[in-house]
A and B are shown apart, each in its own frame.
Chain A
Amino acid sequence: MLNIQRLGLSINGQTLLDDVSFTVEPGETLCIVGESGSGKTSLLKSIQGLMPAYFEGISFQGDRQAEIRQKGQWRGPIGMPGSRWVMQDPIAALNPKIPLGQSISESLYRRSMPKMDVDAAVRQALLDVELNPDVATRLPSEVSMGQAQRACLARALIANPSLILFDEPLSALDAVVQKQIAATMKRIQLKYEIMYLIVTHDLGFASAYADQVMVLKNGKVEANQTAADFFHDPASPYCRDLVLAARALGSLSGPAIPSSYERGADV
């Protein structure tokens, strides 16, 4: 379980995040939506200790390091152990000079493992993300965007995390690949019971895969509801506008245009 209490972040006197609290249950997905500049990515960075955020409390899976950070500013090494981060642009997130397998196994750096075990783990992670294990020897420039994002997912997965943060994981991909990778993400979540914290612009995706939806606006939590509630009974006029706008654009299932994602499909 991940529990964040009253997270705040201000840089140069400008408040980027204010009083953000939420809880993610094991095996559940929290989608964070909001317009550009609402602090979505800053929130992910704060959780990873990359930004000087303040916490009233943060607890994560009984992890000792996180408990030390009970109160006050995040100090010490960056990165929350037991969690991994999948970024928006898979090509930028992979070193162009080293093969995918090596990038993936880097995730195991903190554990000293014999090379054979590492290779086996890389192979298993690639199979989990539905890639041919042969791509381990390829460079990022030799695979498609979708394959690269799957490799990034494998890099997160190989560390056996209980939480994966996604920063718009699908927005660099075309619609068909988006759908396939979204389905893979769901399968992995069901298999390993991983918590997902997904920043997204795509309410259609959120409606299909989120258990909980949190709306950020100007660094504040505008709404934090279960997905069912959010899409049928939005908590505020702003959320209502968001849902209506998405419905009008056709990315949400409505009577006129079907959603590109269907709940429970492909799993």
Chain B
Amino acid sequence: MTSIETGHDHLQPQSKPSRTTINRRFKRSTLLMPLAVAAIWCSALMLTPYDPNATNFLLRLSPPSSEHWFGTDQLGRDVATRVLYGGLWSIGLALVITSVGAVIGTIIGLTAGHFGRAADVVLMRVSDSFFAFPELIAAVTIAGLLGPSTSNMVFALIAVSWMKYARLVRSLSVSISNKDYVLQARLNGLPPALILSRHILPNVLPNLLVLWTNGWSRSILSISGLSFLGFGVQPPNAEWGAMLLDGKTYMQTAPHLMIFPGLAILFAVLAINLTGDRLRDRLDGR
């Protein structure tokens, strides 16, 4: 560090460890657990000797054993493998749905907040009317009208999830655009697009991130719920909700068919929620 000799204390930057290093350390530990889980999951996917859709009628409904850790289902398929592959659908689709919803909501929120009163009124009333329907019921209705398929479910869930983001982004970005530093940027002649990308979005992002993780875990539940009702991922694809639906018939005789996918949903939602909570704590701690 080059320091200039002036004899004034205020010239020297404070010598405590920089806040950014602390933040980086925190960020690493917050992201470490989900990354480890993802790594274990990927290696398990590669190591499993079974095909998720390969049937074996000699081994129908067998209980958990050293060969089949989570047992087999009514078609003799390995439940452990299906739970692993099901995660790709549940968590992956949920990620797609939440991300697309967040991007759409952000664009709509920014448009409503910064491109005139007419846009604001129209877009916010539209989002209010979407809010008027209970989320899952509206998704069931849309998916039911369009016919049961994975892509229709994705569309339905995006259609009922973007409003949260739009509202949050609109209200936060409007309050940020009244801040002094935005006024300084305007006085300095920065174009509106640059003010949005440089001053407003980075300050909306932390809150958006927390809402996004929250939405992600809720989407897992919604996907599983819709699949359980038969509107989502279709057989023979393994999806946790669809597996629950398949296992329902054998609940008495082979409970492992429902227990393991159920636990998978529980742990996935819990892990994402806890990560979201830690993110929130970290961002609040500023």
Chain A residue, CB-CB nearest to B18? A142
Residue pair A109, B10 in contact (C-beta under 8 Å):
no
What secondary structure prevails in chain A residues at the interface with B? loop
Q: Which of A8-16, A124-132, A185-193 contacts B (4 or more CB under 8 A)?
A: A124-132
B12: chain A residues at CB < 8 Å are 132
Q: How far is the CA of A141 from the CA of B181 in the complex (A)?
A: 14
Q: How far is the CA of A48 from the CA of B179 in the complex (A)?
A: 16
A177: chain B residues at CB < 8 Å are 10
B188: chain A residues at CB < 8 Å are 79, 106-107, 109-110, 159
Residue pair A78, B187 in contact (C-beta under 8 Å):
yes
Residue pair A92, B179 in contact (C-beta under 8 Å):
yes
Q: How far is the CA of A77 from the CA of B181 in the complex (A)?
A: 17
A138: chain B residues at CB < 8 Å are 13, 18
Chain A residue, CB-CB nearest to B3? A132
State whether the Cβ of B2 lies closer than 8 Å to any Cβ in chain A: yes
Residue pair A155, B19 in contact (C-beta under 8 Å):
no
The total of chain A residues at the interface (CB under 8 A) is 41
State whether the Cβ of A89 lies closer than 8 Å to any Cβ in chain B: yes
State whether the Cβ of A235 lies closer than 8 Å to any Cβ in chain B: no
Q: Which of B29-37, B43-51, B195-203, B234-242 contacts A (4 or more CB under 8 A)?
A: B195-203
State whether the Cβ of A103 lies closer than 8 Å to any Cβ in chain B: yes
Residue pair B202, A97 in contact (C-beta under 8 Å):
yes
Residue pair B3, A93 in contact (C-beta under 8 Å):
no
B2: chain A residues at CB < 8 Å are 133-134
Contact with A along B202-239 (1 / 0, CB 8 A): 11000000000000000000000000000000000000
Residue pair A85, B11 in contact (C-beta under 8 Å):
no
Residue pair A106, B190 in contact (C-beta under 8 Å):
yes
B52 to chain A, nearest CB (A): 44
B255 to chain A, nearest CB (A): 51
A147: chain B residues at CB < 8 Å are 10
Q: How far is the CA of A138 from the CA of B18 in the complex (A)?
A: 9
State whether the Cβ of B14 lies closer than 8 Å to any Cβ in chain A: yes
Contact with B along A134-162 (1 / 0, CB 8 A): 11001101111011001000010001000
Residue pair B10, A130 in contact (C-beta under 8 Å):
yes
A79: chain B residues at CB < 8 Å are 186-189
Q: A77-B189, A78-B186, A98-B202 are in contact. Are A132 and B13 (CB under 8 A)?
A: yes
B25: chain A residues at CB < 8 Å are none
Residue pair B189, A92 in contact (C-beta under 8 Å):
no
B14: chain A residues at CB < 8 Å are 142-144
Chain B residue, CB-CB nearest to A142? B19
Residue pair B11, A132 in contact (C-beta under 8 Å):
yes
State whether the Cβ of A94 lies closer than 8 Å to any Cβ in chain B: yes
- Which B residues are within 8 Å of any A CB, using their own CB? 1-4, 6, 8, 10-14, 18-20, 179-181, 183-190, 198-199, 202-203, 286
Please name 15 pairs of A and B residues whose Cβ atoms are closer than 8 Å in the assembled complex, sorted by A: A92-B180, A95-B202, A96-B203, A98-B198, A103-B181, A106-B188, A106-B190, A132-B13, A133-B2, A142-B19, A143-B14, A146-B10, A147-B10, A159-B188, A177-B10
Sample of 15 more A-B contacts, CB < 8 Å, known A95-B198, A95-B199, A130-B8: A79-B186, A84-B187, A92-B181, A95-B181, A95-B203, A97-B203, A98-B202, A109-B190, A110-B189, A132-B4, A132-B11, A141-B19, A141-B286, A144-B14, A155-B184
The 4 A-B pairs at the shortest CB distance, nearest first, are namely A79-B187, A93-B180, A97-B202, A92-B180
